[in-house]
Structure 1
Amino acid sequence: MDTSSTGGRLDNDGDITSVMGFSGFGKKARTFDLDAIFEQTRRTAIERSRQVLDDRQKEMEAPGECSTYVPIQKDTEKASRKEDINSSSSDFKLVGPLPQQRDSNQVEEDDLVGPPFPFGDEGGTTQSDSEDDEEEEIDEDTPVKRIPDTHEITLQHGTKTVSAMALDPSGARLVTGGYDFDVRFWDFAGMDRALQAFRSLQPCDCHQIRALQYSITGDRILVVSGNAQAKVLDRDGFNVMECIKGDQYIVDMVNTKGHTAMLNDGCWHPKLKEEFMTCSNDGTVRTWDVKSEKNHKSVFKPRSVQGKKVTPTCCTYSRDGKLIAAGCQDGTIQIWDRNLSVHTKFHCRQAHTPGSDVSRLSFSYDGTVLASRGGDDTLKIWDIRNFRKPLHMAGGLTNYFAMTDCCFSPDDQLVVTGTSVKKDEGSGKLVFFDRKTFEQVYEIEVTNASVVRCLWHPKLNQIMVGTGNGLAKVYYDPIKSHRGAKLCVVKSKIKEKHAEALTQEYVITPHALPMFREARQRSTRKQLEKDRLDPKKSHKPEPPVSGPGRGGRVAAHGGTLSSFIVKNIALDKTDDSNAREAILRHAKEASENPYWVAPAYKKTQPNPVFAEDSEEDEETNKEPEWKKRKI
Structure 2
Amino acid sequence: MKRSKAIIFGKINADCLRNPAEETSAVKTVGTFGTFGSNQKNDTTKDEEYKDTEAKGIYEVMGFGGFGKKSKQFDIEEMVTEATETARIRHKDALEKTTDKLKPLSLSNDPSVPSPNDSSDSESNEEDLIGPPVPKDLSSTQDDRTEKLGVDPSAERNHAVDSSDEDNSDDEQDLTKSIPMSHEVEMLHGSKAVTSVAADPAGARLATGSIDYEIRFWDFAGMDASLQSFRTLQPCENHPILSLQYSITGDVILVVSSSSQAKVLDRDGFEVLECVKGDQYISDMARTKGHTASLNGGCWHPKVREEFLTCSQDSTLRLWDIEKPNLHKSLIKCRAQNGLKTAPTACAYNRDGYLIAAGCIDGSLQMWDHRKMFVNTTLMLRGAHQNGSEISCICFSYLGNSLATRSCDDTMKLWDIRAFKKPLTVFEDLFSRYPTTDCMFSPDDRMLITGENMKKDSTSGRLLFYDTSSFTKVNEISVTDSHVIRTLWHPKLNQIFVGCGNGTVKVYYDEKRSLRGAKLCVVKTHRKVKQVGVVAAQQILTPHALPMFRQEKPKSIRKQMEKDRHDPVKSRRPDLPISSGQGGRVAQSGGTLSSYVIRNLGLSKRVEDDQDPREAILRFAKEAAENPYWVSPAYSKTQPKPIFQTDEDDETEESASKKQKTE
Q: TM-score range by the shorter chain?
A: 0.5 to 0.7
Match of 1:407 among 417, 428, 440: 440
Match of 2:235 among 199, 203, 220: 203
- How far is 1:236 from its partner? 1.1
Match of 2:571 among 537, 546, 562: 537
Partner of 1:190: 222
Change (3 A) 1:392 1:14: farther
Match of 2:333 among 286, 301, 305: 301
Q: Which runs of 5+ in 2 are unaligned?
A: 1-7, 15-68, 74-81, 91-165, 534-556, 578-592, 603-612, 619-623, 634-663
State the one-letter code of the partner of 1:408: F
* C-alpha contact 1:265 1:280 (8 A) present in aligned 2: yes
Does 2:426 match 1:393? yes
- How far is 1:532 from its partner? 11
Partner of 1:585: 628
- How far is 1:89 from its partner? 3.5
Change (3 A) 1:291 1:582: farther
Change (3 A) 1:588 1:269: closer
Alpha-carbon distance between aligned partners in 1 of 2:526 and 2:234, rounded to the nearest angstrom: 27
Partner of 1:328: 360
Alpha-carbon distance between aligned partners in 1 of 2:359 and 2:314, rounded to the nearest angstrom: 14
Secondary structure, counterpart of 2:177 in structure 1:
helix
* C-alpha contact 2:310 2:318 (8 A) present in aligned 1: yes
* C-alpha contact 1:264 1:281 (8 A) present in aligned 2: yes
Match of 1:374 among 378, 396, 407: 407
Alpha-carbon distance between aligned partners in 2 of 1:305 and 1:368, rounded to the nearest angstrom: 26
Deviation per CA, 1:91-150: give whole Å up to 9, x if none: 9xxxxxxxxxx95655899xxxxxxxxxxxxxxxxxxxxxxxx99x96698222100000
Change (3 A) 1:403 1:534: farther
* C-alpha contact 1:139 1:145 (8 A) present in aligned 2: no
Change (3 A) 1:533 1:383: farther
Partner of 2:474: 441
Partner of 1:622: none
Does 2:206 match 1:174? yes
Alpha-carbon distance between aligned partners in 2 of 1:13 and 1:477, rounded to the nearest angstrom: 78
- How far is 1:491 from its partner? 1.1
Partner of 1:458: 491
Partner of 2:345: 313
* C-alpha contact 1:140 1:146 (8 A) present in aligned 2: no
* C-alpha contact 1:422 1:449 (8 A) present in aligned 2: no
State the one-letter code of the partner of 1:586: Y
Partner of 2:646: none
* C-alpha contact 2:431 2:455 (8 A) present in aligned 1: no
Does 2:462 match 1:419? no
- How far is 1:498 from its partner? 6.8
Aligned 1:98-497 pairs, distance under 5 A: 106=86, 142-338=174-370, 339-422=372-455, 425-497=458-530
* C-alpha contact 1:380 1:391 (8 A) present in aligned 2: yes
Q: Give the share of equivalent positions with the same residue, in percent.
A: 50
* C-alpha contact 1:167 1:173 (8 A) present in aligned 2: yes
- How far is 1:422 from its partner? 4.8
* C-alpha contact 2:245 2:255 (8 A) present in aligned 1: yes
* C-alpha contact 1:222 1:267 (8 A) present in aligned 2: yes
* C-alpha contact 2:172 2:474 (8 A) present in aligned 1: no
Q: Which runs of 5+ in 1 are unaligned?
A: 1-8, 16-86, 92-101, 110-133, 501-522, 544-555, 566-570, 576-580, 591-631
Aligned-pair Cα RMSD in Å: 4.2
* C-alpha contact 2:295 2:312 (8 A) present in aligned 1: yes
Alpha-carbon distance between aligned partners in 2 of 1:239 and 1:385, rounded to the nearest angstrom: 41
Alpha-carbon distance between aligned partners in 2 of 1:283 and 1:582, rounded to the nearest angstrom: 97
Higher helix share: 2
Give the count of matched residue pairs. Answer: 428
- How far is 1:333 from its partner? 1.2
- How far is 1:362 from its partner? 0.1
Alpha-carbon distance between aligned partners in 2 of 1:279 and 1:542, rounded to the nearest angstrom: 68
TM-score scaled to structure 2, two decimals?
0.58
Alpha-carbon distance between aligned partners in 2 of 1:244 and 1:448, rounded to the nearest angstrom: 40
Stretches of 4+ aligned residues off by more than 3 angstroms: 12-15, 87-91, 102-109, 137-141, 422-425, 530-536, 538-543, 556-560, 571-575, 581-584, 587-590
Change (3 A) 1:541 1:292: farther
- How far is 1:337 from its partner? 1.1
State the one-letter code of the partner of 1:159: S
Change (3 A) 1:535 1:406: farther
Deviation per CA, 1:148-177: give whole Å up to 9, x if none: 000011110111011111010111110001
Deviation per CA, 1:444-490: give whole Å up to 9, x if none: 00001100000111111110100111011110001111111111111
TM-score scaled to structure 1, two decimals?
0.61
- How far is 1:235 from its partner? 1.2
- How far is 1:441 from its partner? 1.2
